[in-house]
Amino acid sequence: MSDEVTRDVEASQALLQDKLNEISVGVLERGPVSAASQKSDAAGARVRQLKESQKQLRVRATELDDEISRLTALCRDSLIEQFAGAKGLPDISKQLGSLPGLEIEHKLVTQAATQIAEHLLPKAEIADCGSPGRGGPFHGARRRITRSGGGTLATDQ
């Protein structure tokens, strides 16, 4: 091809790209697409929130388990020595009193993590999969057509 034909083709592609961008912006601004886009963003955010919550709950459950194990061993060993007749042992009533609270917290943290894993996260992931741009009924509606080098089209989902 001659340089003039190449310039004409590139100019035509640029005009076409501009028109596609204009149409794309118009489609994205329409009510149903905009609402679907917001719903999609919210579903993805919920999945991320639940995963972060699950991660933090697992960390807290491990911390509580370690603390309960440490206090249980301390109290058990102290009671053994106390009933064996040892004198001058430290008072363990504070540690002994804190065990039920730690055990209840551990139970609740574990239940919360289980609820996320078994119910909330799967439900949120299903909602996220059904969202636009993620294979749902409006799949492709969120595409932003952008100009890439060389006059080719690229999509950003």
More confident residue, 29 or 3: 3
Instruction: Report the alpha-carbon distance of residue 85 to residue 38 in Å, rounded.
Output: 70
User: What confidence score (pLDDT) does residue 66 get?
Assistant: 98
The predicted-structure confidence for 145-154, as pLDDT tens digits, reads as follows: 444 444 444 4
Give me the number of domains the chain comprises: 1
Domain assignment of residue 10, given as a range: 3-156
Helices (H), 30-130: 31-83, 93-115, 121-129
pLDDT, average across residues 81-107: 92
Mean pLDDT of the 82-89 span: 89
- Per-position DSSP letters for 18-55, written without gaps between them: HHHHHHHHHHHHSHHHHHHHHHHHHHHHHHHHHHHHHH
Report the mean per-residue pLDDT for the chain: 81
Does the reported pTM lie above 0.75?
Answer: no
The confidence score (pLDDT) of residue 138 equals: 44
Distance CA 4, CA 14 (A): 15
